[in-house]
Amino acid sequence: MKKTELFEEHGFKDLTFSNYLVHESEHMKVINFNFKAGQKLPVHSHDLDGELNLAILEGEGEFLAADGATMPAKTGDVLVTEIREPHGVRAITDMRVLVTIAPPI
Amino acid sequence: MKKTELFEEHGFKDLTFSNYLVHESEHMKVINFNFKAGQKLPVHSHDLDGELNLAILEGEGEFLAADGATMPAKTGDVLVTEIREPHGVRAITDMRVLVTIAPPI
């Protein structure tokens, strides 16, 4: 077992969102994405079986989906999506997001 | 895709921790465990392949492991463990924990 203190171990970048690989195995990939206010992970998708969840650990922003759709995202919100379904994130305040992908891609 | 606002949709129970199934599929199981101060999920394990991660969304407590070992747990901490490795959680303050299990059990 392995503990990671994300709020201490992973900060923010000025130019673009910052991603930090927490864990990768045959079962799952766990990544912490940190966004400064205004930064975003554009809508994207991969033609692969599997799902991911995005949990907002801190901050406020929007989940992004196909055709320009958006959903408010705040601390404690979780989005579950298929990997092949278009998804993205945009930060309004500085925002920390934990992403778990299974199976890992 | 499905969004869940955990801080609104899932509260706490007096008698024991409260668990809320966020998502279950062939790929992953996502559960939100809420603990009032002093409540715990005792150390347990399952003899199955796979892993889980436990992300602290709010509060402070301890991750529990084999042989009485403990690790401090606070907002933004993530523990990754194999399903077959003994693990548990104890809350010191009210605590919200998001658990992702893959493959689902």
Decide if B91 is inside a domain.
Answer: yes
Alpha helices, DSSP H only, in chain A? Answer: 6-9
Determine the distance in angstroms separating the CA of A27 from the nearest CA of chain B, rounded to an integer.
6
Task: Note the pLDDT of residue A51.
Answer: 98
Query: Given CB atoms, is A65 within the 8 Å cutoff of chain B?
Result: yes
Mean pLDDT score across all residues of chain A: 97
Q: Say if residues B63 and B87 touch (Cβ distance below 8 Å).
A: yes
**Count of domains forming chain A:** 1
Instruction: Please report, for the domain that includes residue B78, its CATH number.
Output: 2.60.120.10
Decide if B12 is inside a domain.
Answer: no
| Domain coverage including residue A34 | 15-102
Decide if A9 is inside a domain.
Answer: no
Q: How many CB atoms lie within 10 A of CB A60?
A: 16
Decide if B25 is inside a domain.
Answer: yes
Query: Given CB atoms, is A96 within the 8 Å cutoff of chain B?
Result: yes
Decide if B57 is inside a domain.
Answer: yes
Decide if B4 is inside a domain.
Answer: no
Query: Given CB atoms, is A28 within the 8 Å cutoff of chain B?
Result: yes
* Residues of chain A with C-beta less than 8 angstroms from the C-beta of B28: 28, 51, 53, 100, 102
Query: Given CB atoms, is A64 within the 8 Å cutoff of chain B?
Result: no
A78·B55 Cβ contact <8 A: no
Structure tokens at A6: 């994300």
Instruction: Note the ipTM here.
Output: 0.96
Decide if B3 is inside a domain.
Answer: no
* Residues of chain B with C-beta less than 8 angstroms from the C-beta of A55: 55, 57, 98
Nearest alpha carbon to residue B57 among A1, A97, A71, A28:
A97
Q: Tell me: the pLDDT tens digits for B70-103? A: 999 999 999 999 999 999 999 999 999 999 999 9
Decide if A63 is inside a domain.
Answer: yes
φ/ψ of residue B7, rounded to 5: -70, -25
Tell whether the model's pLDDT for residue A105 goes beyond 90: no
